[in-house]
Amino acid sequence: MTIKRYTVRMQEHVQKLGIGYIPRFVWVVLERDLVDSCKAGNDVIVTGIYVFVGSGYIHANHIVLKTSSQDKNDITDEIKSFFDAFWCSYKDNPLEGHNVIIASFCPQVFGLYVVKLCICLALVGGVQYVYESGTRVRGDCHLLLVGDPGIIYWE
């Protein structure tokens, strides 16, 4: 039995890039039932394993086609009530609520609050800004972590 395998090139939206930027791309390997799940020009969300061989590629596990209805946040009433209850418990001290969220991120790593904060901000990303001239600025945070997290320096 032969396994159907297809390799596609996935790239950034040209419309969402600034003037003069070349869209980045990555190769995605689709197998079995994923082969016919998308076609050229579709907006997709790919979940998979990044394999760093040569220039690297993604071995896809799941693909979701984005439609205009999926571009909007589909937040249920249950999720809204959960967040409302969480922030109501910290309405007198919202920074404590922020600390709870950051501390719950990667709980295996003790301390390193600033590192966790930076990673959370990089994961959430930012808002794209468009100047009056039409120039677009990416809203992504850039993060460079240097050093061994197992070494703690005391002052």
**pLDDT band at residue 155 under the 50/70/90 scheme:** very low
pLDDT digits (tens, 9 = 90+) for 63-90: 888 775 555 566 788 889 998 999 999 9
What number is the average pLDDT over the span 134-147?
73
- Tell me which DSSP letter residue 85 carries: H
Q: So what's the pLDDT on residue 24?
A: 83
From the list 6, 43, 4, 2, the residue with the least C-alpha distance to 28 is 6
Q: So what's the pLDDT on residue 22?
A: 79
| Homologous superfamily of domain range 5-70 | Nucleic acid-binding proteins (2.40.50.140)
What number is the average pLDDT over the span 25-31?
87
More confident position, 148 or 25? 25
Pair 54, 27: CB distance under 8 Å: no
Tell me the one-letter amino acid at 85: A
- With a pLDDT cut of 70, the percent of the chain lying above it is 86
Q: Is the dihedral of CA 27, 30, 34, 38 positive or negative?
A: positive
Task: Give CATH 2.40.50.140 domain extents, the chain.
Answer: 5-70
- With a pLDDT cut of 90, the percent of the chain lying above it is 7
